Every structure is written in structure tokens, then in C-alpha cells.
Amino acid sequence: MEKDANFRIDIDKAIEAAQSWKVNNDPLGSSWRKELVDLSRRTFEDVRGSEVRLLPQRSESLVSDVGTIVKTLDALRDLLSSDLEMAQSSNTTVSLMCGLALLPGEIFGMIFLLACSGETGEVDLVAVTRLSCVCRHFRDIVHSDSRLWTTITMSSHTTFPSKFLMLCLSRSKDSVLDINASLDITVMESMPRFVEFLNIIAPHCHRWRSFNLTYSIGRLTATTLLTDTKCQ
């Protein structure tokens, strides 16, 4: 049936059709169904009789009623479409969150370690810090997993806060450490920073797995790598 712009929205008729569908498994209902069957059986001989003027009115009335129900349901569907999309999106989000919430902390720790580790196995503390800002649950897991705090890097051109450095050493617990430090002689603050850095990490030298020092004088750069170091 083609949609007619003249069809109006009638919620009562739509409810009547829905109730008939629920009770009789026929949305047209007995009266509309009877009218449809009767009109569909009419022949040319029938319309030549006394009902020649009445039949078009009955037919148009049936089309109007059914069209009104369809238009009402279409309008309802349009109104609910955006709500359905939102409900589906919420369902996906809730399902994922519930699935994550059921994972044990050890699995989360493994996932975080893989996500924050580079090809060399060193952990990116920036990524770790960002993970800890997602939610309280993530923060608790990140702070309690010592493996996420085992890579400590100091740049000669940026300040590595002493409090954060000591926090990393504390959270790494007894895990082995990978230390990366850079020293630029041409930067005035570089040497004092490096000395302060060494003073803080030196007491933990028994845990050093590697110590990578990059030092430069102007354009000249050199790198020294110590592995399996042990402090006497």
C-alpha cells in the first residue's frame, strides 16, 4: 500500500489494532477484516446495484483507517529509532564494562604491561600514568603492580621530579630496574639534575638490570650501556 500524506496519526486506532493483534493474532480486527474480505469479493455486477454509491465510501474509509494505523506506527518507530540506537550503544558499553569488571587484577596487570611496554621490554611511565587516570579500579591495579614501575628515564632537557622518582622506586618494590639517563654538558642544569638523580637511585643499584647513560657535548654524543650491574 502506498503511503498517503493525508493519513493522520491516530493513537487510539493504533492501540485498537495492537490489542486485536494481541488477542486475536490479527491487527486488523474482526470488523476491519470482515470489511476487507467483503470488499475484495465484490464484482462488477455487485457495484451496479443499489450500493454503487456506498461501496466507494466504504473502501475509502477502510484505506483511511489502515493507512492511519500504519502512519501512526511509522511515526512511533521514527520517535523510538534514536532511543533504540542509544539503548544499543549503552548495552554494548555496559556489557564491555561488566566483562572488564569481572577480570581478575592479575589479568589486568598483564594487559597493562603489554600495552605500556615497547619492543625492548621497557615500560613507558607516561602510558602507565595515563592508565592510572582512567578510573579508581585502574589506578589501584597500576599502583600495586610493581612491573609497571621498573623503567626509569631521566632526560637532560626535562625535569624529573624527585618525588615522582622516589614514588617509582617505591612502587617497583623488589623488581629489577632499567635505568635510562641522559647528560648534556652544554646544559647548565643537566649535571646537578644528574647528580640528584644518581643520589636517589644509587641505593637501589642492587636491583639494576641495566643502566643506559647517554652523554653529549654539543653535537658529540656517546652512549654507555651497563647490564646486570651489581653495586658493591
Query: In this predicted model, what pLDDT tens digit does every residue of 115-125 receive, in sequence order?
Result: 888 777 788 88
DSSP letter (8 states) at residue 147: G
pLDDT of residue 88: 92
Predicted local confidence at residue 51, as pLDDT: 66
Summarize pLDDT for 189-212 with one digit per residue, the tens: 777 888 888 888 889 989 988 888
Quickly state the pLDDT bin for 1 (edges 50, 70, 90): very low
Q: Which helix or strand (DSSP H or E) is residue 209 part of?
A: strand 208-217
Q: Which residues contact 105 (CB under 8 A, 6 or more apart)?
A: 140, 141, 144
Q: Is the pLDDT of residue 32 over 90?
A: no
Judged on CB neighbours under 10 Å (0-12, 13-18, 19+), 5 is: exposed
